Amino acid sequence: MFPESISWRSPRPWLASAIVLLLLLVPLLSQWAGSSFYLTFATRIVVFAIAVSGLNLVLGYGGLISMGHALFVGLGAYVVGIGATHGLVNGWAQLVIALALSAVVALVTGLVSLRTRGIGFIMITLAFNQMFYFLAVSLKQYGGDDGLPLEQRSSFAPLPSLDGKVALYYLCLAVLFAVMLLIWRLVHSRFGYVLRGFQANERRMLAAGFPRVRYQLSAYVLSALICTVAGVLQANLTTFSSPSYLSWQASGEQILIVVLGGMGTVMGPVVGALVLLILEELLSGITQHWMAILGPAILLVALVSQRGIWGALRHREGRP
């Protein structure tokens, strides 16, 4: 099942196993603590980790700096919200519609974006993000600027109802583990090699005979689909679909989590989401002006590191 040999002499597999175990036990721990807050909070972290895993595929492994992935999260959330408003609460149907829509949008935006490089790519993905943000704001009959409350949670029968916090959590966690496994295998496969190769040295890859666009576009669409799934889960978690899910600040936050956790590593998105969200929670408990502390902290991270937490761990062991 694992695409590479795991050396139990290094600390990373132990750390990763500990995190997985912790995540599996959250509902129990939350019950002991006597409040469902921790369970909801953990679900938020897991959903973020899913979305960021999607971004990690193109950013961490593909080297493409996309400021436009919040768009796909929002798309998933709005399909659920709008669907529920019109009586469509079958989660499977919502999922299929959301994925199909995302695939089309990702295909078109990806094709246009991949014509550009560097800053152009950043800008054009940002532009597409903004376009859909304004589209969401303009949907007055679906809440517009205020957002759209979810009439009813999606039903993923025969799975238990998502109104149960524990059921929702384990669904999100299962999705996260599935996505992580998928990405882990993908980056070690032939496709993964090509994607990572283009990040490492595009010139060499072209000289080898690999055409660039089809592989980067495929990765882009796949990452969009993963973000869409996160969006579907997000709407069910918050019972809300908001244009803020599509803001460029949300895209920026995703990038922050990937870099913080460790770009180009499977555990990075999970670690990043854990660290950032817990940090935000702790800081906001200290002062309402926690952003004045977090901001410089982010600046510091950007000044000091490139590898992120998990990436730094890998580097210490000499793994590239």
Partner 1 sequence: MAWSLLFSQVLNGVQLGMLLFLLSAGLTLVFGIMNFINLSHGSFYMLGAYFAAATLAHSGSFLLAGLVGVGGVMLLAFVLERLALRRLYPKGHLNQVLATLGLLMFFNEAVRMVWGAQPVFTSQPAWLNGSVPLFGMAYPSYRLMIIAAGILLAAGIYLLIHKTRVGMLVRASSTHPDTVAALGVNARLLNTLLFSVGAGLAALAGWLVGPIVSVQSGMGDDVLILALVVIVIGGIGSIRGAFYAALLVGLVDTMGRAYMPQITRQFFERSVADAAGPALASMLIYLFMAAILAVRPGGLFPTKR
Partner 2 sequence: MSAMLQVHQLVKRFGGLVATDHFDLSLERGEVHALIGPNGAGKTTVMGQLTGELMPDEGSITFDGRDITRWSTPERALNGMARSYQITQLLEGFTVLENVMLMVQAHLGHSFHAWKPARQQDVLVKPALEALQQVGLQARADEDVMALAHGEHRQLELAMALAMKPRLLLLDEPLAGMSHAESMQMVTLLQSLKGQYTMLLVEHDMQAVFSLADRVSVLVYGHAIACGTPAEIQADDRVRDAYLGDH
Decide: 258 and 61 in contact? Cβ < 8 Å: no
Contacts of 251 (CB under 8 A, 6+ apart): 66, 67, 68, 69, 70, 71, 126, 129
DSSP reduced 3-state for 262? coil
Nearer to partner 1, 95 or 124 (CB): 124
- Binding test (CB under 8 A) with partner 2, winner from 13, 164, 211, 296: 211
Indicate whether 312 belongs to the interface with partner 2 (CB under 8 A): no
Using CB under 8 A as the binding rule, whether residue 213 contacts partner 1 is answered as no
Options 126-134, 168-176, 190-198, 264-272: segment touching partner 1 (CB under 8 A): 126-134
Q: Are 309 and 264 in contact (CB under 8 A)?
A: no
Beta bridge mates, 240 = 149
Report the residue number, 285 or 318, with the smaller CB distance to partner 2: 318
Structure tokens at 7: 């050396």
CB of 228 to partner 1, least distance (A): 21
Q: How far apart are CA 222 and CA 189, in angstroms?
A: 15
Q: Which is nearer to partner 1, 1 or 119 (CB)?
A: 119
The contacts of residue 115 (CB under 8 Å, 6+ apart) are: none
Binding status of residue 114 toward partner 1 by CB under 8 A: no
Q: Which is nearer to partner 1, 5 or 249 (CB)?
A: 249
Instruction: Give the number of other CB atoms < 10 A from CB of residue 304.
Output: 7
Torsion angles phi and psi, residue 263, rounded to 5: -65, 150
Site membership for partner 2, residue 218 (CB under 8 A): yes
Is 3 one of the binding residues for partner 2 (CB under 8 A)? Answer: yes
DSSP β-bridge partners for residue 280? none
Q: Which does 1 bind (CB under 5 to 8 A by kind): partner 2, partner 1, none?
A: none
**CA–CA separation, 24 and 22 (whole Å):** 5
> How long is the chain?
320
Find which of partner 1, partner 2, none residue 255 binds, CB within 5 to 8 Å per kind: partner 1
Q: Considering the complex, what minimum distance in angstroms separates the CB of residue 190 from partner 1?
A: 26
| Cα 85 off chain centre by | 26
190 binds partner 2 (CB under 8 A): yes
Residues that bind partner 2 (CB under 8 A): 3-4, 185-186, 188-194, 196-197, 200-201, 203-211, 215, 218, 318, 320
Residues that bind partner 1 (CB under 8 A): 59, 65, 67, 112, 115-120, 122-124, 126-128, 130-131, 134-135, 137-141, 248-249, 252, 255-256, 259, 289, 291-292, 294-303, 306
